[in-house]
A and B are shown apart, each in its own frame.
Chain A
Amino acid sequence: MSTDGSPTALATEPPPTPEVVFREYAPRIYHLARRMLNNDADAEDVTGEVLMQVVRKLHTFRGDSSLPTWLHRVTVNAALAHREKRASRARHETATGDDSVFDSGPADPPGAVRLSRPKAHHTTADVVLAAEQRAVIEKAVARLSDQFRDVFVLADVEGLANTEIADVLGLSLSAVKSRLHRARLRMRELLAPHFDHPEGDDR
């Protein structure tokens, strides 16, 4: 990595073109930002910002093996900075309870959409999510408060290790574990009505 955190030229492959970056990575950047910020317009701003950063630095890439990791970090940092700016603008408003694990909002009617419980031998790639199932999950994620949603999204959507999350978010490892614990319990609670309930399942 270079001093600014962008990948250094290690291989001899040519750098990816802006079109490749746009086609391959823009949706991932946008959806990650949208999950973290819970807002379409903010996610668009962050995606534009990240894409411009990437395009400016494309000449430093030789091969794109480190590009996804770098993009991930840049997107998370841009989303956090954007949220901070948004919070500053709204600082005259009453702060919400920082320790609340979920935002207020109406609960889904239980069982409105059924989520197929994945089989134990299925890999992640085997799980095909229908649009309405995706919507149920996204809605549950959106109901987590910011601090819990960040950790949950990075751990259980993006698949980062707890140590990586601590590094990206500037938290202690124990804080990451604690927030993830509570976020997972809340997500399980929010999604439980949508899962099929086989024998001996949780009540």
Chain B
Amino acid sequence: MTPLTCDDLTALLNDILNDEVELHVRAEVEIHLGICPHCGGLVAACRATITVTRALPTCEPPLPADLEARLRKRCGG
């Protein structure tokens, strides 16, 4: 199989981040990420971004008291 280029890797970025890389391409992706600091950094930074953004809903702040009061009134609560 032809080794992946940085452009190939970028095109596969979504699949890599979603863990949806096809089996026969996976080894080539790992090889490229191992030897290319730029692509390795890109994937690591994207993964870190996703990890911190996915944490948002787990720690949603409560609604401000005045907003909560308005919503309760609107819903008849």
Give A residues with C-beta under 8 Å from B.
18-19, 22, 26-28, 30-32, 44, 47-48, 51-52, 55, 115, 117-118, 122, 124-125, 127-129, 131, 133-134, 137-138, 141, 152, 156-159, 162, 177, 180-181, 184-185, 187-188, 191-192, 195, 200-203
Chain A residues near B62 (CB, 8 Å)? 27
A70 to B37, CA, bound (A): 43
B contact face: mostly helix, strand, loop, or mixed: helix
Question: Separation in Å of the B57 CB from the closest CB of chain A?
Answer: 6
Structural contact, B57 and A26, CB atoms closer than 8 A: no
Chain A residues near B77 (CB, 8 Å)? 18-19, 22
Chain A residues near B55 (CB, 8 Å)? 118, 124-125, 127-129
A202 to B39, CA, bound (A): 8
Interface size on B, residues (CB 8 A): 37
Among B14, B57, B70, B75, contact of A157 (Cβ-Cβ < 8 Å): B57
Chain B contacts with A in 24-48, Cβ cutoff 8 A: 37-38, 40-42, 44-46, 48
Structural contact, A200 and B60, CB atoms closer than 8 A: no
At the interface, yes or no: B49 with Cβ under 8 Å from chain A? yes
Known: A27-B60, A202-B41. 4 other contacts (CB 8 A): A31-B56, A31-B60, A124-B54, A200-B40
